[in-house]
Amino acid sequence: MIQVISITIENFRGIKRLKLDLGGKNFAICGPNGTGKSGIVDAIEFALTGSVTRLTGQGTSGISIKEHAPHVDGRKQPRRSRVILEASIPSLKKSITIERNVYTPSAPAIRPDDDTTRAVLEELERHPEFALSRREILRYVLTPPGERSKEVQTLLRLDQIEKVRQSLLKIANSCTAELRTAEAGVTAAKTQLLAVIGGAELRPEALLNTVNARRSVLRLVPLTEIKRDTSLKAGMIDIKKDPEARPTVSKARAIADLTALDGFLQAEDPAVTIGRKEVAVKLTSLSQKPELLRSLRQQEFLKSGLDLLDEALCPFCDTAWDLGELREVIARKLSAAKEANDVRQAVLAVAAPVIDFLTKISALIKNLAAFGEPVVLKPEIAILNRWTSSLESATSGIRTLSNPVATRQMLIESWNRGPDGTDRVMEDIRARVNALPDLSKEDEAREFLTVCQERLERYRSARRTQELWKGRAEIAQKVLSHYSESTTAVLTGVYKSVEQDFSRYYRFINREDEDAFEGKLTPSLGKLGFDVDFYGRGFFPPGAYHSEGHQDGMGLCLYLALMKHTLGEGFTFAVLDDVLMSVDAGHRREVCGLLKLEFPNTQFIFTTHDPIWLHHMMTEQVIKGKSSIRFRKWTIDDGPMLWTETEVWEEIAHDLDSDDVSGAAGTLRRFLEFISAQLADKLRANVEFHADAQYDLGDLLPRVAAIWRELLNRAEGVAKAWGKQDEVTAIKQRQDDFTAKLARSQVEQWAINKSIHYNEWGTFKKQDFTPVVAAFKELLASFQCPTCGGYFYVTPQKGSRESVRCDCSAVTLNLKEPS
């Protein structure tokens, strides 16, 4: 990965033009909400990946990078909306420049444009996780296990493992469903075959005897065994019959088929009776739960939808969708309907004999319909077909639970009756069968062997299909099982390592009271459990007992552990966008310590609206020197505005030129408050403490002036003690200069003379306020090094004051007396 040296942003998002020099070091951007901090995060992400998450993620319908990434006034000129990023690549010890404009976001200009640089950029495009916001941090902590698994796997780039598992699961499920259909086919074919040969079970010797009896009538060689390819009609000659002279239906077979059907309808198996009643009770209960019914219906809809997803557009409204994302959403919804799945399993557990029974009746009715005319007339065939349809609907209704009321009614009231008119149809069919003439023994035998062969073939085919799907279902299940077992073992190892790092990081930042903290990441088929120790009382989900601030801390620790595992030494860069805002001051210091200790080679870019957090980062040396900027406001014309001397004085001058004394006074006051707070900290002024951390100018500037006077006096005394007359002279000159400037600013008279108090500045006339501005500009110069322009500061930051310095060391005032 890279480290950012500088970034130049032009006409991008809310920024007209801004250049930041980061120097490959940690950098902080601080400012109130709406001052343009996130615009910089967007620009970094755009430069490195060509994308902007905030313009492409959820809830961004109708928003595009090309149209909405440029500054609002430059949206017609996307070529001029660009980001130039200079970076170093530590692993290659080289520097690169990436320039990307909004018009061609996927075609950056890269210098040097060679294979190694391109490879680094491609790696970055694959790792947009370098930018992390607070919202995203909580994803790792508070999401349900199934979703957390996806988020974490995405971060660890393991989503392909889950994708393969999902595919194997889908294949195994579809094989099981095919096997179930094939088994029903075997049941139907067997029932039809048994109807012709008689008996309750299909036994080879019984079939052989029955067949050989008919073959004997036809003087055919008896069969010795029935193999998979044995023809029952072997040697039989088909005689073309005169349809006018000979009946085409065997009376005996028709009676056998009718008898078989009557037998099932009139003497129900006790197991079926119990099963029907149990299923009916469950269906009654289900029909009283509309929410559950809705969930079940939705499941069926989603299942069908999942199978049909192969188009780039929604079939309802033609909206373009991301197929992968949509599949994931649907799969999540399906697995979420746990109660619906439980009910379905409970019904299926008692429904097996009922489904078997309905399948058999349906097969026997189809036998009957197959006679055709003259035994079964066309209108009667239609009625029989409606009957089989209703039986198949009942079977489907039990499996899908889609219409519990109708399915229950069928099972209780009309399971053994067809649609209206069926009784009459059956009577008529019986009458016609009874009226059929008896065939000769030879014709009867020939007809028997022909039909028996047909039904045997159907049965054999059904068995082959069943065996095929049984084998496939077993293989698919075995492979899925091996896959789940082996990948879970690998992932467990990965998560163990992440878990150890996570726990160590969290203990570090909470060592005061959670030094025995442990976190547990538990992977299981497509899910990732996450539980944390709560003060030795047990392991609970992170959101159960820990505060929001602690959860924020956990999110950051988990993110850091995951990134470390994913990138190792390559984790050289991360953007933490407004993270840790609910973490308290004490723990923020520890977070700074953690980043310094564990990630000394990673460049962190922080954004925050909280100046105190920025201050923590600076005092803890996570942010050093000038590696931060503070935005004071944002305007549509100028973008983010910094608290820099040049900008502020220019703005005040502009306001005064426009006779806007009130505006100039407001800017001067806020700027002086900002600088006074900085100086109070740098010079270690004694400011009255406010618990709300709100300090106005009157609280700060007089105390800054007082400490500066005291420091100069002390420095003079020390210089005298060391016998350094030149320094004494220089300090005296500085004291005189400061006294004069302070007098002109009238700061010391604020408490005495209200008419010159800063609260009244807004009422001044331009000619009265202009000298005030000049006086404060001069006064601030007293605290600045004339060489580097930096404000003076006392060292060390705590304990006995030893010196006053500036960044370039051109000015050093010794405060330490000779011992």
Partner 1 sequence: MIKRPASAPKSSIIDSAFKAFSEHLSQDASIDRGLVERMRALLLEEQDYSAEAIRNALFPENLES
**Sites of contact with partner 1 (CB under 8 A):** 51, 53, 56-58, 125-126, 128-129, 131, 136, 139, 154, 156-161, 163-164, 166-168, 170-171, 324, 468, 472, 475-476, 478-479, 482-483, 485-487, 489-491, 494, 566
Q: Which is nearer to partner 1, 393 or 566 (CB)?
A: 566
**DSSP structure string for 521-550:** EEEETTEEEEEEE-TTS-EE-HHHHS-HHH
- My answer on whether omega of the bond before 796 falls inside 30° of 0, hence cis, is yes
Q: Which is nearer to partner 1, 226 or 330 (CB)?
A: 330
User: What minimum distance in Å lies between the beta carbon of 462 and partner 1?
Assistant: 13
**DSSP structure string for 72-105:** GGGTT-GGG-EEEEEEEETTTTEEEEEEEESSST
User: What minimum distance in Å lies between the beta carbon of 155 and partner 1?
Assistant: 9
Q: Which is nearer to partner 1, 182 or 401 (CB)?
A: 182
Query: Bridge partners of 640?
Result: 634
Alpha-helix residue ranges (DSSP H) falling in 108-217 = 115-126, 134-142, 145-155, 159-197, 204-217
User: What minimum distance in Å lies between the beta carbon of 606 and partner 1?
Assistant: 18
Q: Which is nearer to partner 1, 114 or 485 (CB)?
A: 485
Contact indicator for 113, 97 with CB cutoff of 8 Å? no
806 exposure class (CB count in 10 Å sphere: 0-12, 13-18, 19+): buried
Q: Which is nearer to partner 1, 38 or 362 (CB)?
A: 38
Contact indicator for 442, 217 with CB cutoff of 8 Å? yes
User: What minimum distance in Å lies between the beta carbon of 157 and partner 1?
Assistant: 4
User: What minimum distance in Å lies between the beta carbon of 541 and partner 1?
Assistant: 22
Q: Which is nearer to partner 1, 132 or 283 (CB)?
A: 132
Q: Which is nearer to partner 1, 21 or 159 (CB)?
A: 159
**DSSP structure string for 718-776:** HHHHTT-HHHHHHHHHHHHHHHHHHHHHTGGGTTT-GGGSGGGGGGS-HHHHHHHHHHH
User: What minimum distance in Å lies between the beta carbon of 307 and partner 1?
Assistant: 11
Query: Cα separation of 15 and 25, whole Å?
Result: 23
Query: Bridge partners of 773?
Result: none
User: What minimum distance in Å lies between the beta carbon of 320 and partner 1?
Assistant: 15
User: CB within 8 A of 172, min separation 6: which ones?
Assistant: 473, 476, 477, 479, 480
User: What minimum distance in Å lies between the beta carbon of 422 and partner 1?
Assistant: 37
Q: Which is nearer to partner 1, 479 or 743 (CB)?
A: 479
Query: Cα separation of 104 and 447, whole Å?
Result: 79
Q: Which is nearer to partner 1, 79 or 126 (CB)?
A: 126
Query: Cα separation of 284 and 286, whole Å?
Result: 5
User: What minimum distance in Å lies between the beta carbon of 131 and partner 1?
Assistant: 7
User: What minimum distance in Å lies between the beta carbon of 49 and partner 1?
Assistant: 9
Residue 95, token pair as written in the block: 């520097």
Contact indicator for 363, 191 with CB cutoff of 8 Å? yes
Q: How many CB atoms lie within 10 A of CB 166?
A: 14
Contact indicator for 779, 697 with CB cutoff of 8 Å? no
User: What minimum distance in Å lies between the beta carbon of 127 and partner 1?
Assistant: 8
User: What minimum distance in Å lies between the beta carbon of 171 and partner 1?
Assistant: 5
Q: Which is nearer to partner 1, 157 or 654 (CB)?
A: 157
Contact indicator for 770, 654 with CB cutoff of 8 Å? no
Pairing of strands 803-805, 793-795: antiparallel
What is the b/e burial string over 175-185, where b = at least 16 CB atoms within 10 angstroms of the residue's CB? bbebbbebbbb
Q: Which is nearer to partner 1, 321 or 722 (CB)?
A: 321
Question: 3-state class of 209 per DSSP?
Answer: helix
What is the b/e burial string over 209-227, where b = at least 16 CB atoms within 10 angstroms of the residue's CB? ebbbebbebbebeebeeee
User: What minimum distance in Å lies between the beta carbon of 328 and partner 1?
Assistant: 12
User: What minimum distance in Å lies between the beta carbon of 146 and partner 1?
Assistant: 16
Q: Which is nearer to partner 1, 472 or 757 (CB)?
A: 472
Q: Which is nearer to partner 1, 83 or 707 (CB)?
A: 83
C-alpha closest to that of 808 among 793, 794, 787 = 787
Euclidean distance between the first and final Cα of the chain, in Å?
Answer: 52
Q: Which is nearer to partner 1, 333 or 417 (CB)?
A: 333
What is the b/e burial string over 67-88, where b = at least 16 CB atoms within 10 angstroms of the residue's CB? ebbbbeebeeebeebbbbbbbb
